[in-house]
Structure 1
């Protein structure tokens, strides 16, 4: 009795899956919007994913990269403090070269040879080869690398022959439970199609990506799928596969894709300007949790509580105040600071955008100007030279624009350390990412101020830097006691 019941339930489950799948595939032939309905005939139940794959697969490519890595064979005494004292960083062996190869996937989004993939797939590559579904191979040139979204835009030359492309879907219309297909080149075995559903939307705690707002799917995504397509049942591009959650390196049914709306914006910017210029909001805040919602008298958590506003920034000009709660932007619900950043990042510079806020017991609509972040002061990237303790250190002035570009808090002011040699690090305890606040007792906001201080006192130096939000004071002497605290 139990076996019969189990068998019947299994058949019911399989039939239900086929019904749902088939009903979503129905819209492919007509090209109309997907209509979710129960199939009305046996023929509809027996439909497969094949029509969707035939439409989309030719526009998905394999990407092979090669780069030459130069390194040195370290002497066995290279890390010995005694030898380091006399020879410093130069105490290394003969240089050597090796070739690193990697693979990934990409999507053709322009019939004239425009291909989009992940930044991490092609970053640092000396050679990039794009292999089409029909086995033809082309050398690719980089149009744009955007580390902040983990996207790269490439171009291949097909001598005027148009290529198959994928159309961008409106990823904001994706719903949890929608059927999707992932197409890519996992493990280098060749083009592969896997199926699944949209498992979640607006995932934000996935990677170091500045614009974390991923679509999660249980379609199998493995190494090599990066840069490949996540498509819906209408054959349109919903997202670019970018990451997996895995402890073993293989698929655990949790993959993430960059939404098509962000991909479309980056590609459009690359083709029109050769770079991405995003609006700057000029305010920061925190997610309204259950505890914060209770303290504010809200009946549920949601929105972003504003706790910092940059003077004369766009949010300040719009009239935003500390303590305001942002609930939506341009009609889209805002549930976290990442969501706010994502939606602002999709807008072109120029014009205004409506922001719905709660202030006390009132709901207001503010109009925020879409402006590029100002670079004031200019970054002035400088490598210090001279006979002083910081010689060889690379510095730059911080501004809202440059801070936003390199992922530093836009409210930070000072001079940031971009590069520091091992010898300087050992002598002074400086680290890349440190932000100078004071040098020899004087506040500094410009590289030139640090240069002047070093010229006046090249042997000894005292300074205060901000490191990961903590202030560190150092006194460095060529002879005598040195300390940091």
Structure 2
């Protein structure tokens, strides 16, 4: 049996020596000796117990949060066209696939991911791709309990999903949420997840950068936290923690072309989505009805010589001034920041607005006539007709939504318009605009805000079986 060693022999020796010294020291010298001896006595630190040396801030953070990290197991049913022939030839494979289109084969797939309990009544934050298409969701907690869960809401554009534990017990653990607006480059971080099915795996690193953009599965994810913490398959949806054990991000992606680079969604954005989904059951991104454009050198000099360099986008149109709680914006105002995020161009402006939901009040920093002021605007859900009307007026193509098919269908092409010159025809389908899937008027509105700000973009258009990309 191993016994615990005593860790205070040095203090015992000091006590004995001190007692002997003062006993034999002449009475007149004791006061001076005391002044010299006490600082030396206190300068020697108490040796720490072995367990105290091992219980580092990382260990304490992991102990605090481990019970709130869950392993998510999903079942999903997929269908494919069944064909009895395998020709290993693209032409014949496509021919037989079309011929046997009516014959469908179903199969079940299982996948694993991670999540974090952010409320003790059983609400879980994870990635949308972890639970996409799931027909059955089982979660396993850090203390080896098993529960069923259901999806409350999911958004593939932000890769955030909110789950609810069915019949949650009263003693579920939950994590403490931090503030992702107050991160330091270089500060230590901790990732906990279930890579390759190994539950509650802990990795550590530092914050390498913030505000990163990456492309994944046909979607561009903006304003991410970059770390050198190892984030492997199965880590997706797990928490990124600071050294105090606060959740500051939701791990979402691994950069496949290099090792040691991972990305996380800032927790402030994830919590805004979570709160909106709890209220509405779906996600509507913020819309403030303000169209902007990049600041050219000519426009910059016309607006004001004292305008900060490399900052801002110019306001061109304000659809609804009544949304503003302070001074309403006007054409030729320059937006310098959205919330705490500086705006250096149109992409920053759009990313900043899309970080909010349709219930939020957004702070804007604005330049007008050589003065800076702050105003607030109540975000709304974009009107269903907004994107359709703007696209028709701008490019001369009218779209309509159709159920059961990808994209939106071209309903009309205006004579003499850009769309007519580009060769659009009624019946064509616009699949994406700047990599944003156009499957609804709401998604079209989001895409239009982006490309109007940049004054152009790229459309993916389908005609029959062929697709092409058209720059506009």
TM-score per shorter chain, which class? Answer: 0.5 to 0.7
**CA contact under 8 A between 1:398 and 1:412: conserved in structure 2?**
no
Larger deviation: 111-120 or 339-348? Answer: 339-348
Q: Does 1:119 align with 2:94?
A: no
Residues 20-99 of structure 1: pairs in structure 2 closer than 5 A: 43=48, 47-48=55-56, 49-74=58-83, 76=85, 89-92=98-101, 94-99=103-108
Q: Where does residue 480 of structure 1 map in the other structure?
A: none
The aligned residue for residue 377 of structure 2 is 368
Indicate the larger mover: 91-100 or 173-182: 91-100
1:287/1:335 contact within 8 Å kept = no
Aligned to 1:151: 160
Distance in 2 separating the partners of 1:414 and 1:362: 41
Contact conserved, 1:169 with 1:260, CA < 8 A, in 2?
yes
Other structure's SS at 2:173 match: coil
Distance 1:211-1:252 versus aligned 2 partners, 3 A rule:
closer
1:264 is aligned to 271
Task: Compare CA radii of gyration and give the structure with the larger one.
Answer: 2
Count of equivalent residues:
380
Q: CA deviation at 1:371?
A: 2.6
- Using the size of structure 1 for normalisation, the TM-score is 0.65
Q: 1:200: Cα distance to partner?
A: 0.7
SS of residue matched to 2:176: coil
1:202-245: per-residue Cα shift (whole Å, max 9, x none)? 11344465762111111111111000010011111001000111
Paired residues for 1:246-265 under 5 Å:
246-247=256-257, 252-265=259-272
Unaligned residue ranges in structure 1 (runs of 5+) = 1-39, 378-396, 422-430, 444-460, 477-485
1:174-204 Cα offsets, whole Å, 9 max, x none, are 1111111000011112220000111111113
Judge conservation of contact 1:280–1:371 (CA < 8 Å) in 2: yes
Counterpart residue number, 1:414: 398
1:463 is matched with: 426
2:314 alignment partner, one of 306, 309, 312 = 306
Instruction: Compute the displacement of 1:149 (Å).
Output: 1.4
* Shift, 1:339, TM fit: 4.3
Where do residues 281-320 of structure 1 align in structure 2 (5 Å cutoff)?
281-285=288-292, 301-306=309-314, 308-309=316-317, 311-312=319-320, 319-320=328-329
Alignment correspondent of 1:448: none
* Conserved? CA contact 2:321–2:328, under 8 Å: no
1:438 aligns with 2:413: yes
Q: Normalization by structure 2: what TM-score?
A: 0.66
Greater Cα offset, 194-203 or 72-81? 72-81
Q: Do 2:153 and 2:163's aligned partners in 1 also have CA atoms closer than 8 Å?
A: yes
**Where do residues 190-205 of structure 1 align in structure 2 (5 Å cutoff)?**
190-205=199-214
State whether residues 429 and 462 of structure 2, in contact with CA within 8 Å, keep that contact through their aligned partners in structure 1: no
Tell me the distance in 2 between the aligned counterparts of 1:411 and 1:310. 20
Describe the shift of the 1:62–1:314 C-alpha distance in structure 2 as closer, same or farther (beyond 3 A). farther
SS in structure 1 at match of 2:237: coil
Tell me by how many angstroms 1:50 deviates.
1.2
Q: 2:115–2:239: 8 Å Cα contact kept in structure 1?
A: yes
Cα shift readout 1:422-468 (whole Å, capped 9, x = no counterpart): xxxxxxxxx845544428x699xxxxxxxxxxxxxxxxx96396855
Unaligned runs of 5+ in 2: 1-44, 418-423, 434-456, 465-472
What residue number does 1:215 align with? Answer: 225
